Amino acid sequence: DTMDVVKQSAALCLLRLLRTAPEVVPGGEWTSRIIHLLNDQHLGVVTAAASLIDALVKRNPEEYKGCVNLAVSRLSRIVTSSYTDLQDYTYYFVPAPWLSVKLLRLLQNYTPPAEDPGVRGRLNECLETILNKAQEPPKSKKVQHSNAKNAVLFEAISLIIHNDSEPNLLVRACNQLGQFLSNRETNLRYLALESMCHLATSEFSHEAVKKHQEVVILSMKMEKDVSVRQQAVDLLYAMCDKSNAEEIVQEMLNYLETADYSIREEMVLKVAILAEKYATDYTWYVDVILNLIRIAGDYVSEEVWYRVIQIVINRDDVQGYAAKTVFEALQAPACHENMVKVGGYILGEFGNLIAGDQRSSPAVQFQLLHSKYHLCSPMTRALLLSTYIKFVNLFPEIRSQIQDVFKQDSNLRSADAELQQRASEYLQLSIIASTDVLATVLEEMPAFPERESSILAVLKKKKPGRVPENEIRESKSPAPNTNHHAEAPVAISVANVNNSSADLLGLSTPPSSQPTSNTGVLLDVLGDIYNMPNKVGATNGAQNTYNPK
């Protein structure tokens, strides 16, 4: 007994030294002796050794790989024993729960022992035994019994998820966790949802997790604890695929109206990602994003509304529908500023697609947008001014109305430099530029380059390590810059230009410079702002930019 106490104390002391000064703990000669402590007859020594080896494995897993066989062997002896066999280490009818948890956690440092089928088979038998014992009637009604039993169970499920190699065990673990979703203990429901999030990412258990969708949706809506509701949202996000995407997205949208403020922003990001990833019909995607803005506009980040614009521009089949939908959304008495931004951009690009209907004629579109102008921030006003100059090109019949807006002192002499510059330049552009020049400068935006979703990047930043890496990898473009116009004054050339459309609304990266013809004619787009004389300067040189004074 004295030697057992000495060995146990030595192992714990070495663990303390390892944590304090890792460099003083030698390897090599001690490795085998430390590993074989798992075979000691005294369970106190084995428990201390398990903690020590777990810490050593994290530093050098290859050196201590021999502990796997001994850990599986010891675990097998514990789980197959009766609670009467280990009386000194039995806690409320559960044999050695702390040691079992430590051994299961130790095995999670390694991949399944594929090179030794015997060890792998014995480990799977241990895990099956733990799952079987979880189904047995409790031997005690005391909470300590259920706590110890469930601690071993959840660690075993964590090992099953870590190995991710046995379909039968993964499905059984999922079914066991599904029973906990209706348990009266809040902690158990939380842990079950958390573990099922990991199971949902496995190809073997994804379908089994989906069977619990209705219960998870109910948890999201009815749970009293906000942390459990958060886990339910995470699980819905993880279990979503093409077969249930529309239902899950709709349920999340419905809940968003009454959701806790602490989880709304994350929910918005997840709904936006799911809607894009699983959209078979992009009109549905447009509806989802506009609903997000309507329901939780304050929590819709710039990346979300940038994204819907990028997708609409890249897909010809949805442009007319998007213009019609945002036009209808803007008619609401209370309209969020993000909706005005999306509406301003889309109508500026594709308002002509719905202009044939008298209810959405050019004048009506302009008046609708301008009715929101004075309620918006300077940044949104700047975007709307860019929409107006686009209207000058699309709808020449309302040119005079738009010029009147540019001439207003609140724009032309605005304290905001961005608004003043846009109003000044756009006013001169609308007065002195020919129809061909306007068509060249204000032509429709080209498609955005395809890159990783910027929305997904935001979610990964908010939840590091909790977002699967194989998410959306398509149709991402650089983050828009609504102040891009201020950095590059408008330059107009009548020369033959290949794909040189200016991004007047600031949602793309600066285009690469294009070679221009020597016969280019530069127009003084600023002129004399207040006296308005039409100045035209000509040049035969290679110069192709104009720097306003």
Q: What is the CATH number of the domain that holds 108?
A: 1.25.10.10
In a domain, 474, yes or no: no
Polymer length in residues for the chain = 549
**Do residue 129 and residue 208 come from a single domain?**
no
CA-CA distance, 5 to 157, in Å (whole number)?
33
Does residue 440 fall inside a structural domain? no
pLDDT tens track for 9-51: 999 999 999 999 888 777 777 888 899 999 998 999 999 999 9
What's the rounded Cα separation, in Å, for the pair 347 and 388?
A: 10
Q: What is the domain range of residue 128?
A: 1-162
Q: 444, exposed or middle or buried, with CB in 10 Å at 0-12, 13-18, 19+?
A: middle
Query: Is residue 25 within 8 Å of 10, Cβ to Cβ?
Result: no
Percent of the chain with pLDDT over 70: 83
For the four alpha carbons of 301, 303, 306 and 312, in that order, the dihedral sign comes to: negative
* Cβ atoms < 10 Å from Cβ of 528: 11
Same domain for 149 and 72:
yes
Nearest to 386 by CA among 458, 484, 297, 290: 484
Based on the fold, state whether residues 33 and 57 are members of the same structural domain.
Answer: yes
pLDDT at residue 465 greater than cutoff 80: no
- Residues 93-122: pLDDT tens digits? 999 999 999 999 999 999 987 778 899 999
State the Cα–Cα distance between residues 35 and 65, nearest whole angstrom: 9
The neighbour count for residue 265, using CB atoms within 10 Å, is 18
Together in a domain, 158 and 170 = no
pTM given for the model? 0.78
Q: What is the pLDDT of residues 314-349, one digit of tens each?
A: 999 999 999 999 999 999 988 999 999 999 999 999
| Token duo for residue 165 | 């190699």
Q: What DSSP element (H or E) covers 261?
A: helix 261-277
The model's confidence at residue 83, banded by pLDDT at 50, 70 and 90, is: low
pLDDT at position 546 is 27
pLDDT band at 470 (very low <50, low <70, confident <90, very high): very low
**527 lies in a domain?**
no
Distance CA 92, CA 239 (A): 36
Q: Is residue 349 part of a domain?
A: no
User: Among 183, 210, 239, where does a domain finish?
Assistant: 239
Do 172 and 158 share a domain, yes or no?
no
Say if residue 80 is in the same domain as residue 106. yes
Q: Which of 162, 181, 200 is the last residue of a domain?
A: 162
Q: Does 259 fall in a domain?
A: no
Statement: residue 492 has pLDDT above 60: no
Count of domains for the chain: 2
Of 139, 162, 185, at which residue does a domain stop?
Answer: 162
- Shared-domain flag, residues 178 and 97: no
- Convert the pLDDT of each residue in 433-445 to its tens digit: 888 999 999 888 8
Residue 228: inside a domain: yes
Residues 114 and 33 in one domain: yes
Question: What one-letter code names the amino acid at 481?
Answer: N
Tell me how far apart the alpha carbons of residues 509 and 470 are, in angstroms, rounded to a whole number.
26
| pLDDT at residue 426 is higher than 50 | yes
pLDDT at 370: 95
> Is residue 191 in some structural domain?
yes
Please give the structure tokens belonging to residue 255: 């809940």
- Write out pLDDT tens, residues 239-292: 999 999 999 999 999 999 889 888 999 999 999 999 999 998 899 999 999 999
pLDDT digits (tens, 9 = 90+) for 160-217: 999 998 999 999 999 999 999 999 999 999 999 999 999 999 999 999 999 999 999 9
Cβ neighbours of residue 88 under 8 Å, at least 6 residues apart?
Answer: 43
391: left (phi over 0), alpha (psi -120 to 50) or beta: alpha
Over residues 501-519, mean pLDDT: 38
Residue 227 in domain: yes
Provide the percentage of residues in the chain whose pLDDT is more than 90.
Answer: 63
pLDDT of residue 461: 73
Q: What is the pLDDT of residue 114?
A: 75
Same domain, 14 and 158: yes
The predicted pLDDT at position 157 comes to 96
| Nearest CA among 133, 129, 157 for reference residue 146 | 133
- In whole angstroms, what is the distance from residue 349 CA to residue 444 CA? 6
**Average pLDDT for 472-494:** 35
- Alpha-carbon gap, residue 410 to 414, rounded angstroms: 5
Q: Are residues 64 and 136 in the same domain?
A: yes
Q: At what angle do helices 302-314 and 454-462 cross, to 10 degrees?
A: 160
